[in-house]
Structure 1
Amino acid sequence: MARRIEHHTTSPHSAEKVFGAMVDETYLRDRLAAIGGKDAQLVTYSSTGEKTSYQLKQGVPAEHVPSAVKAALGGDLVIQRTETWAAGAGTVEVAVNGVPSRLDGSFTILDNGSGAKVTLSGEVKVSIPFLGGKIEKLIAEQVAVLLDKESEFTSQWLASRG
């Protein structure tokens, strides 16, 4: 069984500016340096002007991973995240090392009054008998926490650039 996830964040900046940050290579590197976790890196990046795709690697040290997940991993949590963006919308695919799991979703960025609203709609699936549902819930919760941190970083990053 899979778990649906829908998460919203807001920004005081326009949808155009938030989208511009999400496809900016410098922004991605800065965001990873600030909140990407252990051994974070921008693995690939390509932009044609109309479409931007990239893969991020983010890490969580084993001591910060819940015991149920730690047993399955046998070490640090390594997250591979691939995003593709075009015209204010994006897709995301997330895989976690050592865990038969997947998050697939889509992002929208829309103007919302005096700023922007970013929405992730997706699904988390973990194929581990008996523990899958608990791990899906944990992943969904942690994705929400990460998106909140990224939204805060994005707002600060954009504010620092005028």
Structure 2
Amino acid sequence: MPRQIDFRSVSPHPADEVYATMVDPDYLRARLDRIGGPGASLLEHTADLEGARYRLRLGLDAKDLPSAVRSVLPGDITVERDERWTREDSGRYHGDVDVAIPGAPASANGGMRLRDLSDGGSELEVRLEVRVTVPLFGSKIEAVVGDQVQRLLAAETAFTQDWLSGNGRP
């Protein structure tokens, strides 16, 4: 049974500014360099004011993974993430994300929403379903993967806030 992950973050920056940053290829490359892991790269990218699509490759070093995951997925792990964003209106965006782990019985997909808040800031919400198709241990691994996804989203959010404040730029 898939495990649902809900993530929410608030930024003091308006959604249009956050969106422009999140889909900027220089920002994406810098984020991948900082927190993307071994072999991280921006595989594809298209973006404009109305929408964006990009594919990312992230790497997870086997030594950093919990033993429950290493027992099923030995060695380093490559994660491919495909994100698509659409502008609904000024200050409102929605997106879809698909995550694949080539050669592994695990995947995730879900939706994202970025919108302005009344105080001038913005809110990002992400809802994902993680699936691991391993008999007996699948739900345990889904819990571990879910925790790792939450940590990654938090690290990406912190990087984005630093970038927007001018501290994270190379």
Identity %: 39
Partner of 1:129: 135
Partner of 1:5: 5
Structure 1, 119-128 or 93-102: larger mean CA deviation: 93-102
Find out whether 1:108 has 2:108 as its counterpart: no
Q: Secondary structure at the match of 1:134?
A: helix
**Alpha-carbon displacement from aligned partner over 1:95-121 (angstroms, at most 9, x marks no partner):** 123321111111101123242111001
**Alpha-carbon displacement from aligned partner over 1:36-61 (angstroms, at most 9, x marks no partner):** 11111001112355221111010111
Which ranges in structure 2 are unaligned for 5 or more consecutive residues?
88-92
Structure 1, 67-76 or 150-159: larger mean CA deviation: 67-76
Alignment match of 1:93 (pick from 90, 98, 121): 98
Instruction: Say whether the 8 Å CA contact 1:9–1:147 is kept in structure 2.
Output: no
Distance 1:19 1:47 in 2: 10
Aligned residue type for 2:132: V
Partner of 1:57: 57
Distance 2:71 2:158 in 1: 32
Instruction: Say whether the 8 Å CA contact 2:69–2:144 is kept in structure 1.
Output: no
TM-score (norm 2): 0.89
Partner of 2:71: 71
Alignment match of 1:117 (pick from 112, 123, 134): 123
- Structure 1's 97 and 67: CA in aligned 2 closer, same or farther, altered over 3 A? farther
Distance 1:135 1:148 in 2: 20
Distance 1:50 1:108 in 2: 14
What is the count of residue pairs matched by the alignment?
161
Aligned residue type for 2:32: L
Alignment match of 1:159 (pick from 145, 159, 165): 165
Partner of 1:18: 18
Aligned residue type for 1:135: I
Aligned residue type for 1:129: P
Which ranges in structure 1 are unaligned for 5 or more consecutive residues?
none
Instruction: Say whether the 8 Å CA contact 2:60–2:78 is kept in structure 1.
Output: yes
Aligned residue type for 1:153: F
Aligned residue type for 1:97: P
Deviation at 1:33, TM superposition (A): 0.9
TM-score (norm 1): 0.93
CA RMSD of aligned residues (A): 1.4
